[in-house]
Every structure is written in structure tokens, then in C-alpha cells.
Chains A and B, each alone.
Chain A
Amino acid sequence: MNQFTILKSRAVVLPVDNIDTDQIIPARFLKVTDKIGLGEKLFSDWRYLPDGSANPDFVLNKPESQGAAILVAGDNFGCGSSREHAPWALAGFGFRALISTSFADIFRNNALKNGLLPVVVGADSYRKLIKKLESEPQTELTIDLPEQTLHVPGEASIHFSIDAFSKTCLLNGVDELGYLLGLEDQISAYEKNL
């Protein structure tokens, strides 16, 4: 997993509530046995026209979206299916952080395991952020994980929460399996009492 410390980037705005993981990556792309190439399929049914060409009206296809590493999306982002292909596709496209007013539980867990930082902001901050980014799409946001702040130029910094464990994993780029494997003695002791 890649380390996450401070991210400075432009952002893509997708102000739709309840974006489900079937939209993030449709089920027909889940036949893979690896994680490669899913970024191409991200938001496939919104991003491509029936003939396979890029839909010029969809935000990911706009010139200003290219190279952006932050996605700002509506409430309850990532609801529905548990498919980890959703964060794999988002990370495959180049996103490193997501900003919303809330994330679905399973999606949030999956994102964190792939170096993708979910940042929850309040409804007011979200509305202001959307407005700012829609009028000034070139705005560069700064997400400072050590300080747990989101900085929007010309605005007061916004504090966000993250549990200490996930933060440590992201800052050091380590995954949870190493931690669990280190608990072998406790797990064996538990199993003796089953």
C-alpha cells in the first residue's frame, strides 16, 4: 500500500447522493481475477456512450478532471455491493482521496485498505466546497493527514476525523494483515477455548 501524508491536488466534483458501487464499477467488470485495468472501467455507464466513446458531458471526461487525485461526491458514497473492485477502480484512475458527507461502511473499510483516504465533512462545508469547485475548477485542495485537515484556498481549514489505527496504516503505507499475523499467539489462545 502507498503511503499517504499530504496530498495537494485539483478535485473532480460529482454531487450525486447515494452513488452505489454498481455505478462505480458495474458487475460485468467483476470477472477479473486481478486488480489490473479497473481504472478504465470506473463509472463506465456514466462515462462512456453506448458506442464506447467518451461521454463529453460526464465530469471525468472534462479536461480539468485529468490528473485530479481527489473526488468530491454526495452523501452515502459507495453504498450497495461490498465489491472492493470499487476502490481498486477509483485508485486505478488516480484518485487518492474522497470527500463526502458520509461513506457506506463496507466501502469505507475497503477504501482505507487501498491507500484511498475517505474524508468526511459537514453538510455546510460540503456545499461551500462544491460551489467553490464548480466556479473555480482549477482550485487545488490540500489534504494533510498528519494534521487531519482539509485546506481550501481562501477558507479556514476544515478538521476531519480518522481513527488512530487507520491513520497509522496510511501514514506508514502498511496493511492490516501484517498486524493480524503478529497476533498469532492471541488467536491460538482464543482457539484453544473454542
Chain B
Amino acid sequence: MTPKTLFRKIWDRHVVTQQPDSPAVLYVDLHLVHEVTSPQAFSGLRARNLKVRRPDKTVATIDHGVPTRTEDGSKNGRLAFADEMSLRQIRQMEENCAEFGIRLYGLESENQGIVHVIGPELGFTQPGMTIVCGDSHTATHGAFGALAFGIGSSEVEHVLATQCLLQWQPKTCAVNIEGRLSPGVTSKDVILALIRQIGVGGGVGYVFEYRGPAVQVMTMEERMTLCNMTIEAGARAGLIAPDENTFDYLYGREFSPKGEQWERSIAHWKKLATDEGATFDHEITLKVSDLEPMVTFGTNPAMSIPIGGRIPDPDAADDEAQKSGLRKALDYMGLTPGQSLADHPVDVVFIGSCTNGRISDLRLAASLLRGRKVSPKTRLLVVPGSNQVKRQAEAEGLDRVFKDAGAEWREAGCSMCIAMNGDQLEPGEYAVSTSNRNFEGRQGKGGRTFLASPLTAAAAAIAGKITDPRPFMQS
């Protein structure tokens, strides 16, 4: 038999049919749905008098617009919706799910949370699956060895109606992550370094498979952070072969296979890894042994430097387009070439999102904040990725650590990553954020974002400025 890649094994099992000169009809095992990209798809179903073909393979939550606080700050107060439109969109989601018979982890659910956090934590996400969602960070689920990617609302409608999607087969790229991370350097720093190396368009047309010693030793949550930002390099999906870490994570979760079915699943999942001798269309290597914590300085995720580095000079860039792109970014950020980011003042620190809003991220941040105070010049927002993450953090007393330090401890949601729910930067404010995008205005119109790891974010909150987190780890 011809050796196959992990991607190809999943792809081949899911092609329903492919007619000449036409894209493959790809079957979808799990369709995740949220309130922002689905209303038009449900309207489309109604207009054609269609049903949801497989409500049993469809899971919905409310995350992008969900408030993370109550109006009066009390536990049972009225939720502080951003505005009437936001509330209407959420109510529409509830109505759509009720009408079409879709399981919804809504506002009152104890398992509500960011779609890419709850999928894995409830055990919906499993190796070998095809997973789609109207959200580009669906790449997150690739950490489990699933082919997972974001789609538009028209495609959401296609999947709701037929459980299938028309797709041209993408090319494959092996991303070898070599070496060993030093203390204080996280998988967030790895993915920022990779995007810096290949650019925000470097992965267009490809599906990545992350491999190598640094990936093997990562926990599942670290792998999710890595895969999550694959789309920021332009690749729609990033996969990691399932292994014992994957199985340990999934064992016993609510929707994980049980009993005999579990044994059969493990046997199948173990066969998914890329075969010896299988070839990729392209290969990239990233060496991480000397990697430092990374921070972005610009307005896309490729514009980053090591924490000890200096902002590049646009005049030294390769071509005119790069030069003008850098100049435009530095102008927006109010930064100058050659400047170090160390000691740059920070108004807001945001710890959360589908990139870094899981329990291990909160533990990392709390490890630095324990017994320390947030700088009086800085506001720290800690937003758990799901209600499960929130409960776990509270059981471990992490909420107390954050609150004692002077941070705001919020309810679960996307929050300031996309700034749709009222949590947002004011024009001109600087934020260190553990989220995934530093685009102009992403965290609020006129807001300026430095992307970093939870450790770097926590250190910035304490110091009130950008600083290397590693010295805080020793004391």
C-alpha cells in the first residue's frame, strides 16, 4: 500500500463522491455552530424549506457576543449585553436551535463556552474526524488529529442541509518543530515564531502537519494553541498525529467513546499517524531551542519579535509592498523602527480566547500573579474559555489569585479577542493579549494589540509594561 499522510487518510475516508472537473464532496462528522456566522444560513434553509440533515452531528454554542459580566456586577444580575442587536442575535440562535432541533450550549448551560474550547473538553472533538465551523479558528481541533477548518456562512448552510461540503483537495506541508523549549517559552511563542518565519500568507493552499520532538512533548492544550493560530499563517488546517497524550485527554469525557467502543476507537486512532515514507508537498523546519518569548509589534500576527529584540526598519525590508506594510503598521501602532518593546506601557492586559483561555493558560498566568499586584496603570481582564474552565479555576482558587492581584475575573466567552460583546479597547489604548489577532481595530476601534503568551501577558500586567516574564518565574 502507498504510504499516506495523516491528512490523506482522513480525507480519503470522507470523500462521498467526486465527479470529473468538480470538487470532492466531503462528509462532515462534526459541525460546530455559533451565533454570529449562522443566522443567514438558517434563513437560507427556511427559504428553501430544508431541514438540518444531521442534528446529531451538529453542536451549537453562544460565544462571540456573550456578555462576560452582569450590569450591576452581582452574581445573578442581568447580563450586560453590548446592545439590542447583540441580544437579538443571541435570541435568534436560541430560536434557530429550537426550531431545527440542534443541541445548544446556551447562556444558561453549565457547559457554555468558546466553541473551540467546549468541543474538545466535552469530547465531541475526536481523532480522524472532519470538523467544520463558521469560524477560522476551527483549526484548533487539528490538535487531536482531526481535519478541522473554518468555513463561510454559505458553507454552514450547505453542511446544515447536506452534512457535506464541496472541497478541492489542499496540498500538504510538514512543519517540523525541532529542539526543546526552554522554561518560560510556550507553544504560543512557537506559533508566533512560525508565522513570523513564513508570513501571514505562507500557508495558503496547504494543510499543515505539525511534527517533531517539541510537538511530541506538548500537552493537548499546548497543541491546541499551536493549531489554533495555523490560520494566521494562511493554512486552513493544522494537524497533529494522535498519541497517548490525545487518548489520555479524551478518556472519560462526556461524549468520548465508552467501554468496548473506546477500545475500538483507540485501535483506529493509532493507525492515523502519517506512514513512514509518505511524502508531503512541502516541508518547513522551525528550530525552537533558542526561542525566546515572542511579542507582536505590528498589525498582523507575522509582525513579531523576540522579547529582547528590536522593531525592524521598514527601509530594510525586501520589497516596496513590505516596506509600506511595515510603515503603515508602525504608524498605526505608534512605534518607531529600532525601538525595543521592553518597557512599553500597557493599558490593558487580556488573558483568554480560544488560543489561550484554557485551564493550563490560567494556571500559567496565576503562577506569576500569585502574591503580586496588577500595576495601578494597567487593567487586567481574565476571561475563561468556558464555564468548565471557570469552575475548574475556581476549584483551584485561581479566581482568588486573580482577584487578589486586582484583576477582573469574568464569565466565559470570546470577549476582547473580537470585541463584539462590549469588552473592548478604547481608541489609542495598548493591550497585551493572549488572543490570536492584532489586526487594526480587532480589539476595539483604534485599539492597539501586542500578542503574547499567558506568561508574558501576566508579567505585563504586574509591571504595567511589556517585560520578559522569565525573571518573575524564579522568585
CA distance A114 to B149 in the complex (A): 20
For the complex, is B381 an interface residue (Cβ under 8 Å from A)? no
A117 CB, min distance to chain B CBs, angstroms: 16
Q: Would you call A22 and B205 a contact (CB within 8 A)? A: no
Q: Would you call A20 and B153 a contact (CB within 8 A)? A: no
Given A20-B300, A22-B442, A186-B17, check contact A180 B162 (CB 8 Å).
yes
Which residue of chain B has the shortest Cβ distance to A83 in the bound complex?
B37
Q: Would you call A79 and B234 a contact (CB within 8 A)? A: yes
Q: Which A residues lie within 8 Å of B155 (CB)?
A: 109-110, 113
Interface centre among B82, B154, B324 (most CB of A within 10 A): B154
For the complex, is A63 an interface residue (Cβ under 8 Å from B)? no
Given A106-B150, A110-B154, check contact A80 B85 (CB 8 Å).
no
CA distance A184 to B322 in the complex (A): 48
A56 CB, min distance to chain B CBs, angstroms: 18
Q: List B393-439 residues whose CB lies under 8 Å from chain A.
A: 418-420, 427, 437, 439
Q: List B13-61 residues whose CB lies under 8 Å from chain A.
A: 16-17, 21-23, 25, 27, 36-37, 39-40, 43-44, 48, 50
Name the contact of B420 in the complex, choosing from A31, A79, A190 (C-beta under 8 A): A31
Q: Would you call A18 and B152 a contact (CB within 8 A)? A: no
Q: Which B residues lie within 8 Å of A79 (CB)?
A: 200-201, 234, 300
Which residue of chain A has the shortest Cβ distance to B85 in the bound complex?
A31
Q: Would you call B136 and A106 a contact (CB within 8 A)? A: yes
Q: List A128-176 residues whose CB lies under 8 Å from chain B.
A: 163-165, 175-176
Given A33-B92, A82-B37, A105-B236, check contact A180 B328 (CB 8 Å).
no
Q: List B116-158 residues whose CB lies under 8 Å from chain A.
A: 134-136, 149-155, 157-158
Q: Which A residues lie within 8 Å of B23 (CB)?
A: 163, 165
B447 CB, min distance to chain A CBs, angstroms: 11
A79 CB, min distance to chain B CBs, angstroms: 6
For the complex, is B258 an interface residue (Cβ under 8 Å from A)? no
Q: Which B residues lie within 8 Å of A105 (CB)?
A: 170, 204-205, 234, 236
For the complex, is B274 an interface residue (Cβ under 8 Å from A)? no
A191 CB, min distance to chain B CBs, angstroms: 8
Q: Which residues of A contact B (CB under 8 A)?
A: 15-18, 20, 22-23, 26-28, 30-35, 45, 50, 74-76, 79-84, 87, 102, 104-106, 109-110, 113-114, 163-165, 175-177, 179-181, 183-184, 186-187, 190-191
CA distance A181 to B324 in the complex (A): 47
Q: A106-B151, A180-B158 are in contact. List 20 more A-B contacts (CB 8 A).
A: A18-B200, A28-B445, A30-B420, A31-B36, A33-B40, A34-B40, A76-B201, A80-B136, A80-B439, A82-B135, A83-B152, A84-B152, A102-B201, A104-B201, A105-B236, A109-B151, A165-B23, A179-B166, A183-B16, A184-B162
Q: Which A residues lie within 8 Å of B461 (CB)?
A: none
Q: Would you call A27 and B162 a contact (CB within 8 A)? A: no
Which residue of chain A has the shortest Cβ distance to B160 in the bound complex?
A177
Q: Would you call B154 and A180 a contact (CB within 8 A)? A: no
Given A22-B437, A34-B39, A84-B153, check contact A180 B445 (CB 8 Å).
no
Which residue of chain A has the shortest Cβ distance to B303 in the bound complex?
A18
For the complex, is B367 an interface residue (Cβ under 8 Å from A)? no
Q: Which B residues lie within 8 Å of A75 (CB)?
A: 201, 321
Q: Which A residues lie within 8 Å of B242 (CB)?
A: none
Which residue of chain B has the shortest Cβ distance to A23 in the bound complex?
B440
CA distance A179 to B164 in the complex (A): 11
A112 CB, min distance to chain B CBs, angstroms: 9
Q: Which A residues lie within 8 Å of B48 (CB)?
A: 177
Given A22-B437, A183-B162, check contact A27 B154 (CB 8 Å).
no
CA distance A111 to B50 in the complex (A): 24
Q: Would you call B321 and A17 a contact (CB within 8 A)? A: yes
B420 CB, min distance to chain A CBs, angstroms: 5
CA distance A116 to B134 in the complex (A): 19
Q: List B93-109 residues whose CB lies under 8 Å from chain A.
A: none
CA distance A42 to B43 in the complex (A): 23
